[in-house]
Amino acid sequence: MKLRNKSFCLVFLGLALSISLHSQEGTVNVSQDSDIDKLLEYKKDIKTSKVYKIQVFQSVDPDKAAREKANFLNAYSEWPVEIVWNTPNYKVWVGNFATKLEAERAGVKIKKKYMNAIIFQPKTDD
């Protein structure tokens, strides 16, 4: 019985040594355009930046939204204004505020004429 255990151990040891001797090591080199790193940094900056907007009007009628956009620009020309269609409404959004505080300061001025204006962060498609 001892001879059988010894031979089993020798066979097992021989297999283990042969497997380790046949193992391969290698090096992988990745070559990529340097613009890829720039794009990744740019994308990271976009994802982490939060933008606040102020909604001043919404309607199912695109003509009313366009008129309200023009009225807003006549009253407040310092911020960019856009009309966004979000089923089923056309919404008039103001600004690209970097911080909520900046949006709130603008909101104080805007609410003098647009009492129902709301500050929000638009959802982004990631």
* Burial (CB count <10 Å: 0-12, 13-18, 19+), residue 94: buried
- Over residues 16-25, the pLDDT tens digits come to 666 655 556 7
Residues of the chain where predicted confidence (pLDDT) is lower than 50: none
- The pLDDT value recorded for residue 125 is 63
Q: 107: which DSSP letter?
A: H
- The pLDDT value recorded for residue 16 is 67
- The pLDDT value recorded for residue 23 is 57
For the entire predicted model, the pTM comes to 0.60
- The pLDDT value recorded for residue 35 is 82
Which fold would CATH assign to domain 50-120? Alpha-Beta Plaits (3.30.70)
In the chain, where the domains are located: 50-120
- The pLDDT value recorded for residue 3 is 57
Is the distance from CB of 117 to CB of 110 less than 8 angstroms? yes
Is the distance from CB of 72 to CB of 81 less than 8 angstroms? yes
